[in-house]
Amino acid sequence: MFNMNIRFFNATIGHMKQKRTFPFIRVTKKQENRIRNGHPWVYADEITEQTETIENGSFTDVFGQKGNWLGTGFYSAASKIRVRILGNNANEKFDDAFFQRKVRYALQYRIDTMGEDFSCCRLIHGEADGMPGLTVDRYENILVSQIASYGMEMHKDTVYQALISQFADMGIEIAGIYERNEDDLRAKEGLPQYQGWYGDKHPDTCITEITENGIRYEVDVENGQKTGFFLDQKYNRLAVRRIAANRHVLDCCTHTGSFAMNAAMGNAASVTAMDISETALAMAAKNAGRNSLKIAFRQGDVFEVLPQLRAEHAHFDLIILDPPAFTKSRRTFRNAFGGYREINAEAMKLLPRGGYLATNSCSHFMPKEEFMRMLLEAAKDAGVQIRLVEVRGASFDHPVMPAVPETEYLKFVLLQIV
């Protein structure tokens, strides 16, 4: 890595609206083009020059090869993603007021798009809200936060206080903010892993109740998956409810039972919910009882249960596949593709002509076009023809940035066997 005298470098950028005062990096032409196209990440191996010492988490200016300023972002000394760009307004001060505005814009977007579902939704979705590495979900009056970038960790107090203050302005008192900072990504950022309530003000319990699509759920913000509940499938569950009437439904990898209960609410003839986890099935059964819904439960691995059901001549005409992410890196894509192909082929074999399959992938390392290719190959394996009914993504509170493909992670495909 080459270093450069910052005074000399500042002299090369006199065309800028204001002189930058932060440490700097200079990037390759390839990286410059990526930034100009809207992607906010700067990879370590795309840096050609930089200030000799840059403090972890500090604001850093990013320049192209000709000295043109591309933006300012958080520097991460330990991560392959060395800088996460926050903005490219040369007049921006990147102070507390900057983050307060970001919070206000994020909340207003959810008010605009979520309507009455604003009481239970994602409030901040990382890069898509201009706050890289930060996730904040709302469960009524409890907020749950995850931070995966060093810079956001340094500014979390400002963000949290802005959230509390801006909700108060709406007449809503936030009872507490629970931090789920146990993710492995924090270790890659050089951050400690922990979880617990932020500050002294918080409820006595980590258990709360939410209502989604008219169904009540118990949410454990301490022990539940992700931040306690999968909010991104909110409207995809309604898509299943719409076609569930008078059908025999199998919900694989049911977790909290959310797809199964939406099918039951849609007047399904029968609903069976399956999961490998005893804990998940107990939670799903509790949720079903809370809503007085009749659901049968079966424990097992989806790879084993689907062939078993076919051998048992079980009858289902709507199957939901919502497995955990089979791949969390490009290295494991091939194996993940094979896993998705196997369970989708088994589900297609189990369905009669005219039956429906609602299938999902929640990994951004499985692009939409590859997921569709997998479904075609699975149909070939099963010896069936398929037609698309609907292709969906995450709910509106998980916005997608077209220039940042990593934000389009969830694929929901509803198809029919013909």
Active site residues: 362
CB 144 within 8 A of CB 137: yes
Backbone angles phi, psi at 363, to 5 degrees: -110, 130
CA torsion sign for 290, 295, 297, 302 is: negative
CB 259 within 8 A of CB 274: no
CB 281 within 8 A of CB 310: no
Q: Residue 139 forms beta bridges with which residues?
A: 120, 142
Q: Could you say which DSSP state residue 204 is in?
A: S
Decide the pairing of beta strands 176-181 and 142-147: parallel
CB 310 within 8 A of CB 346: yes
**Biggest alpha carbon–alpha carbon distance for the chain:** 77
Q: Give the separation between CA 128 and CA 55, rounded to whole angstroms.
A: 25
Decide the pairing of beta strands 411-417 and 59-63: unpaired
Q: Give the separation between CA 379 and CA 373, rounded to whole angstroms.
A: 10
Helices 333-350, 302-311: crossing angle, 10 deg rounding: 20
Grouping H, G, I as helix, E, B as strand and the rest as coil, residue 408 is: coil
Q: Give the separation between CA 258 and CA 98, rounded to whole angstroms.
A: 38
